[in-house]
Structure 1
């Protein structure tokens, strides 16, 4: 017990040191800067292993509860987005939204298979690397299922930077810059007994969902189970009481989640993971560009068919950055409810549907390889 406590305390020091990189990168305005910066510093420290950080984590990385806690916080954050507004948008434009989500899933799967075919990356890593389910979510799940987190983080980061660095600028130039301060928030910001009780309730529900997901052998149960638990509770509260759960949810909590996930993933990096990475990066970049261009054209098609304004459509169906797309929609006076609803539904659909599918494919591939070895032997 004392050994575990000492190691946990050392892990915390490692997370704080790595978090300096997150702080620096967050100053650039990149939405997931906290996690990417933390991951980069943690990865460099893990690869170089200087005397300064020796003993702060084991060879396999940080203790598992750091990643699980980060996943739990992230699951609560995403789960809170499932409210009456999202449900109303889904019922009104379900056919268009479903079609676009399916197209994005099909395109990401195709991109993953291309990456697998033309690089030395294994199939499960290729699929998690190219799936636009949110960088934090995909890294959290990939770390649990044994994918090469170095490759996944590189490809996912490239996609997020491409999308967040080009789409807001493009639509801003298209429509003219908006004015005013954008505020996107769907949770209670004021701390009082009711919202504090709401937070405790959300944590209990999230933990219960995570444990249920673990029993059901759900991939990354601490993320997906908590997300589903809080999402169901939020939706039911909205339907019964007509309003969202009153939860005190300070923005710092999602920063803490990014620090924990980033440091946990970075601490697992080793030099073997970067073997043949150059070709993988090039193919991943091309795949990200192709997916972004395809979804841009699909968004314009949606505008032509449904009459939704092009700025709203482009922001809604862009493959990445819920918060950045939401803020951009508010600034440009687009339909921010539609943008947030579609982005959240895409992440939910991908996180719920694809991980079990990927696990099944991985088992099938492993079984096929074993049979090939037996027959050749």
Structure 2
């Protein structure tokens, strides 16, 4: 194909519009993923994307989530941090134990199996797999299966179980439009995100989210960006995710994929169970709890919260805590266990 990038984005746009017409949750993320994967599988299409478009899209989504923060957000999540951390550690422990069991069942090396079982932190887990001499290709496939399972199960579950009860979607544009000069803050957070994208987990999303959230809570009104810009950024992210999925690699991984897909579905069910416990424990509404305890998909779960009446600021804050826990604690744990997991 002469222009693979243009054809990839065209197919992604078609998928996004189709999912929008069908009223499917987060259509401009799930639609492009589905359309591109089908095109790759059925027509052997070669996909390609523009890295800068992906980076800009992630920054815009960080800005979008940051807009949902209020002066009460940071103080309101403080009482939730301990129960959330305990449930997150328990979820991580369950995943690692099952990963060890998969290793024994399939004969796969423990490094690949346990690193591939982590409930989040794809990029960091690939890096730790490299350092421990695991099979990074399989780790990537297993984490892709987990992420795709989360993206296709959780939004549907939340939308159809509680979407009608919590139908008031969050308006991501500011209620009071700020002066035009505040656009400079958006340019600033773009450079901050780009600077920190290799230094901080999900830095392209997390750093703009924190900066814009802090500005929001300070009482300064920012210039409202059009909602179509945020839809376009979701389309770019969905296109990138679809581009990264290689159907032939999943087929090549064979039986191992079945085990890790089963693990993904199981841990999603565990996350939903924990969400009910978390909601009962803290009083947080069930939609926000389910999305906050989903094993991955910080951006997508926050957007889903905005579309289903959950609290995107709480979801993104707690998901960030989970992500940081995974990428900071697990590499240290795997390093300390290196001698044992290689045996």
The verdict on a shared fold, with TM-score over 0.5 as the criterion, is yes
**1:344 matched to which residue of 2?**
316
Contact 1:238 1:244 in 2 (8 A): yes
Deviation readout 1:221-271 (Å, 9 max, x if unpaired): xxx3333432342344355x3x26524233333332333233334345546
Q: Which has the larger radius of gyration?
A: 1
Query: What is the distance in 2 between the residues matched to 1:154 and 1:22?
Result: 21
Deviation readout 1:278-314 (Å, 9 max, x if unpaired): 53443334323432333343344345555x2774675
Deviation at 1:88, TM superposition (A): 1.8
Contact 2:37 2:242 in 1 (8 A): yes
Deviation at 1:15, TM superposition (A): 1.1
Contact 2:25 2:156 in 1 (8 A): no
Question: What is the root-mean-square deviation of aligned Cα atoms in Å?
Answer: 4.4
**1:231 matched to which residue of 2?**
209
**Normalised TM-score (structure 2):** 0.71
**1:208 matched to which residue of 2?**
192
Evaluate the alpha carbon distance shift between residue 312 and residue 268 of structure 1 in structure 2; reply closer, same or farther with a 3 A threshold: closer
Matched, 1:157 2:148: yes
Evaluate the alpha carbon distance shift between residue 230 and residue 131 of structure 1 in structure 2; reply closer, same or farther with a 3 A threshold: same
**2:73 matched to which residue of 1?**
86
Contact 2:65 2:313 in 1 (8 A): no
**1:324 matched to which residue of 2?**
304
**1:284 matched to which residue of 2?**
260
Match of 1:246 among 193, 198, 222: 222
Contact 2:178 2:224 in 1 (8 A): no
* Structure 1, unaligned runs of 5 or more: 1-6, 331-335, 373-377
Query: What is the distance in 2 between the residues matched to 1:279 and 1:244?
Result: 54
Query: What is the distance in 2 between the residues matched to 1:103 and 1:212?
Result: 29
Query: What is the distance in 2 between the residues matched to 1:281 and 1:45?
Result: 21
Match of 2:54 among 67, 74, 81: 67
Deviation at 1:184, TM superposition (A): 1.0
Evaluate the alpha carbon distance shift between residue 36 and residue 189 of structure 1 in structure 2; reply closer, same or farther with a 3 A threshold: same
Query: What is the distance in 2 between the residues matched to 1:64 and 1:303?
Result: 39
1:1-377 pair list within 5 angstroms: 11-46=5-40, 61-110=48-97, 127=115, 131=119, 151-170=142-161, 178=165, 182-188=168-174, 194=179, 196-214=180-198, 216=199, 218=200, 224-238=202-216, 241=218, 243=219, 245-270=221-246, 272-277=248-253, 279-302=255-278, 304-306=280-282, 308=283, 311=286, 314-315=289-290, 317-319=292-294, 321-328=301-308, 330=309, 336=310, 339-355=311-327
Evaluate the alpha carbon distance shift between residue 10 and residue 246 of structure 1 in structure 2; reply closer, same or farther with a 3 A threshold: same
1:182 is paired with a residue whose SS is coil
* Structure 2, unaligned runs of 5 or more: 131-135
Query: What is the distance in 2 between the residues matched to 1:28 and 1:349?
Result: 34
Query: What is the distance in 1 between the residues matched to 2:335 and 2:290?
Result: 36
Query: What is the distance in 1 between the residues matched to 2:73 and 2:124?
Result: 24
